[in-house]
Amino acid sequence: RYLGFYGAIALFVALGQSGPSQAQSSFAAAYTEPQTLATLAGGRKINLVCAGPQENGAPTVILTAGAAFWSASWNAVQPLVARTMRVCTWDRPGFGFSDPSPATQTVANLVEDLAAALKAANIPAPYVLVGQSAGSFETLQFADTHRSDVAGMVLVDPSLPDMNQRVGAISPPALAMLRGDLMGRAGANQRCAANPAQPTPADAVICFRLPEHERPLAGTFAVRDHDAARLQTRASYYEQFEANTRMVANPARNYGNMPLEILTSEKTPVADLPVEQAAHDALEALWNKGHDEMATLSRRGSNRVVPGA
């Protein structure tokens, strides 16, 4: 329930109040089956969905989804970007059409997988990196470790580095709720992995229920999502989440003159946390201040609040 604070919220900035366009509706089919399966060392495959024109030397936009989401969560955004630029989204290990991974799902390992997948799929730098909510962790880490490959960055309502420590300093009850949600998800996926054929109803909701935009794919994932290795990979992702918030904290981070855009939703995820008013106000301030701080990582950085989001 409270994963929203980590950014598992959908933000379709480009659509406003309109319904999906014909281009968006037709492009949705791209998420119903594997597209570009990049083979990594050892034979694991990472799925990428790419579209749009590729001009010589022009950057490719790389979209990273929020926690618990995968490439399909960009279904309303990717076709709009693809009108003018090459744009690729990817599935983390164990999500979408990417294979599970035996590695601990640290942000460092996730970025290594993404970099290897881009190389294997012959998608050359430069990149404009776009990370939504918890996808900001891979985005920041990729820019830190592959700086010469990154031409610019957009962070869409990003989760904050070292967020748990900062939340705990304001409201221990809020931190306890966030930790409880993550550990609940990790535990459910571990139990589902041990008994994928007969999960408890409560665990099945966490392991197998799809978000609204994915529900037409229920048949596609009915068998795939019951794979034990896939469920264990997801459990590792949730287990490592708090450590990843610390890992991605980097006080020396400086992106110089790189274009950097932060988009902040008008209604923050904090709004739904059942905490006392003083803690609520302080957490709201933390969320907005954190985004302002991210914008200062570049001399060309800015933070914009998106009305109605």
Supply the pTM of this predicted model.
0.90
pLDDT of residue 20: 47
Higher pLDDT, 29 or 96: 96
The conformation of residue 267, written as its DSSP 8-state character, comes to S
Q: Which of 1-15, 89-103, 113-127, 187-201 has the lowest mean pLDDT?
A: 1-15
pLDDT number for residue 124: 95
**Region of poorest pLDDT, from 23-32, 58-67, 101-110, 157-166:** 23-32
| Contact present, 65 and 135 (Cβ < 8 Å) | yes
pLDDT at 89: 97
Contact in structure between 72 and 99 (CB atoms under 8 Å): no
pLDDT digits (tens, 9 = 90+) for 194-230: 998 899 999 998 998 877 667 777 777 777 888 999 9
Query: pLDDT category, 5, cuts 50, 70, 90?
Result: very low
Q: Report yes or no: 95 and 71 within 8 Å, Cβ to Cβ.
A: no
pLDDT at 213: 64
- Where does the pLDDT of residue 1 fall: very low under 50, low under 70, confident under 90, or very high at 90 and above? very low
Provide the pLDDT for residue 4.
39
pLDDT at 56: 85
pLDDT of residue 147: 96
The residue among 25 and 158 whose pLDDT is bigger is: 158
Model confidence at 240: pLDDT above 80: yes
The strand order across the sheet containing 127-132 reads: 36-39, 45-51, 87-90, 60-64, 127-132, 150-156, 260-265, 301-306
Between CA 86 and CA 100 the distance in angstroms is 27
Give the pLDDT confidence score for residue 25 in this predicted structure.
52
Tens digit of each residue's pLDDT (9 = 90 or more) over 153-186: 999 999 999 999 999 999 999 999 999 999 999 9
SS3 87: strand
Percent over 90 (pLDDT), the chain: 72
Q: What pLDDT is stored for residue 49 in this prediction?
A: 97
Residues 6+ apart with CB under 8 A from 238: 182, 183, 185, 186, 189
Question: Which of the pair, 38 or 13, is modelled with greater confidence?
Answer: 38
Q: Label residue 68 by pLDDT band (50, 70, 90).
A: confident
**Which residue type, as a one-letter code, is found at position 122?**
N
What pLDDT does residue 9 have?
Answer: 26
pLDDT, position 31: 87
Residue 287 pLDDT:
93
Q: In this structure, are residues 111 and 142 in contact, taking their beta carbons and an 8 Å threshold?
A: yes
Q: What is the pLDDT of residue 26?
A: 55
